[in-house]
Amino acid sequence: MTKILTFLVVSLLTLTLACNHAPQAPSDPLSELADDTLVEVEAPVLPFPDTMLPSAEKVMVEIDTIDPTLPWEIKDFTDAYADAPGIFTFRGSPTRNPNFCGRLHGDSLFIHTEWEFTTALDNSNSSSHGSWGGGTGWTGQPLYIHWPDSLQELIVASLCGYVYFLDFQTGKPSRPYYDTRNVLKGTPSLNPYLNGDLYVGHGVQKTAPFGHSVYNLFTSEETHAFGKDPKAWRSWGAYDSSPIVVDSFLFRPGENGTLYKYYIGNGQFALQSTLRFSLTNTKRSPGMESSMSVYRNYGYVTDNAGNILCINLNTLQPVWHYHNHDDTDASPLLEIVDDVPYLYTGCEIDKQGTKGFSYFIKLNGLTGERLWEDTIPCRRISFGEKTLDAGMFGSPVLGEGDCSDMIFSTFCMNFTKERGCLAAFDKNDGRLLYKTLLKQYAWSSPVPFYNDDNELFLFVGDCSGYTYVIKGKTGEIVACEKIGSNFESTPIVVDDRVILGSRGNKIFSIALQ
């Protein structure tokens, strides 16, 4: 895919896009070099092999090529999000390891609310699943874009069904909201090549069409709308997953058990192929709520039955399969070491019954081999007719600086004295290093900060509205403040600011000073 070097011209009256293509290399790059000059040519990045390991042979798959005239092969493995001016997808990168880190200065830490924005409240009960109110739910991460005219803009998908656009500095609306007509729970994605496309998935149905949409930020138009898929093996048609762009393709996992591959090159948006899979030898497919992680041409998805599947994104054929005991909604994190991807994720307590374990694991991303496994005991609890599952809902974060050998995640444990925690593990052998207990269970993913000495601190929100700053090396809580009512959503970090949505009707900008 042609690289975009100069991306946007934003006028005072309307947003327009100018994409200038990268200059072409000279036809003869050696023409000006002396005959005895040695030239080092960088080896091309090649795709991982098109193999199916024995673990994947038991997976029943159905791959449909919708339009055989469209390109299908990924040719450019560049991380398109690395140079994007902001945070354009869940956790900001295809590996789902946060590429945004805050900076802390000084010796004292205080959690201070800079501004708060009040969303609409939807109390209509027009959904068969009840009323969802406003604010944000799981995963509910905001997006962030720094436009060339200096506007720093937030994009927030709310449970009330609106997509809000807020000025990062003030919290005031920067443009009118989009009404998607359905409950929004997941994290949208913004096209990293800056063509203006915003990809939004519905979470709970209020009206038809119920599925996912594409909006163009420069025209404020809904350019594509997708409803019920009659070929899906599962009837629930929500899309909590944050889709990901790789080269000229968009990959979107669905809770209907289908992985969709769209061709988005040359100004098109067209469905190229789909993958459905099952391990029961019947056309019954678990839903995928997590966001797919990607390295090169391999994609990694988890589902409601505990399956972890590595997929060759060129062919949509499975490469390997691993079963992690139970429902796995947390998005897997990839760590790349010597060009080998290593996958970290954990499961919930759902199929196990009332009590069980969240199995936190590390896998070799090329083979599916388990390198280690640790467990956190958890239990499900009931409130009248409502049951609250337990385990790991947030996505982990790898430590750097003084915590370079550590990995962290939040857990929902639901015991009387241990309701939720931030846990730290040794990333090399999986040993539990500590658990920092929180006042309530936690679904929100932690985000990293580093001080002037390159020491790691983690910002965490829990489901009773408390926020914490925790020292990564020791687990010590260095600041704690009750701000919202229920933080299920994953925050983002920009400089020393955290943007985080709460259940209810609030979006907060929080400064760590």
- What DSSP assignment string belongs to 171-194? --EEEEEEE-SSB--S--EE-TT-
Taking the C-alpha atoms of residue 148 and residue 12, their distance in angstroms, rounded to an integer, is: 12
Taking the C-alpha atoms of residue 240 and residue 120, their distance in angstroms, rounded to an integer, is: 20
Q: How confident is the model at residue 40 (pLDDT cuts 50, 70, 90)?
A: low
Residue whose pair of structure tokens reads 């080092």 in the numeric block: 40
Domain ranges of the chain: 50-512
Taking the C-alpha atoms of residue 268 and residue 71, their distance in angstroms, rounded to an integer, is: 11
Taking the C-alpha atoms of residue 47 and residue 77, their distance in angstroms, rounded to an integer, is: 8
Taking the C-alpha atoms of residue 359 and residue 357, their distance in angstroms, rounded to an integer, is: 6
For the residues of 78-118, what is the DSSP string, one character each? --TTTTSSEE-SGGGSTT-S----EE--SS---EEEEEEEE
Q: What is the pLDDT of residue 387?
A: 86
Q: What is the pLDDT of residue 21?
A: 32
Name the average pLDDT for the chain.
Answer: 91
Q: How confident is the model at residue 36 (pLDDT cuts 50, 70, 90)?
A: low
12 pLDDT higher than 70: no
- Which pLDDT tens digit goes with each residue over 258-316? 999 999 999 999 999 999 999 988 898 999 999 999 999 999 999 999 999 999 999 99
Cβ atoms of 156 and 166 closer than 8 Å: yes
- Which pLDDT tens digit goes with each residue over 360-409? 999 999 999 999 999 999 999 987 778 889 999 999 999 999 999 999 99
CATH code that applies to domain 50-512 = 2.130.10.10
Q: What is the pLDDT of residue 129?
A: 66
Lowest mean pLDDT among 42-51, 78-87, 244-253: 42-51
Q: How confident is the model at residue 25 (pLDDT cuts 50, 70, 90)?
A: very low
Omega of the bond leading into 367 within 30 degrees of 0 (cis)? no
Q: Is the dihedral of CA 389, 395, 401, 404 positive or negative?
A: positive
Cβ atoms of 372 and 430 closer than 8 Å: yes
Start-to-end CA distance of the chain, whole Å, equals: 42
Taking the C-alpha atoms of residue 162 and residue 180, their distance in angstroms, rounded to an integer, is: 6
Q: Which two tokens stand for residue 263?
A: 């061709």
Q: What is the pLDDT of residue 217?
A: 97
- Which pLDDT tens digit goes with each residue over 440-497? 999 999 999 999 999 999 999 999 999 999 999 999 999 999 999 999 999 999 999 9
Predicted TM-score (pTM) of the model is 0.91
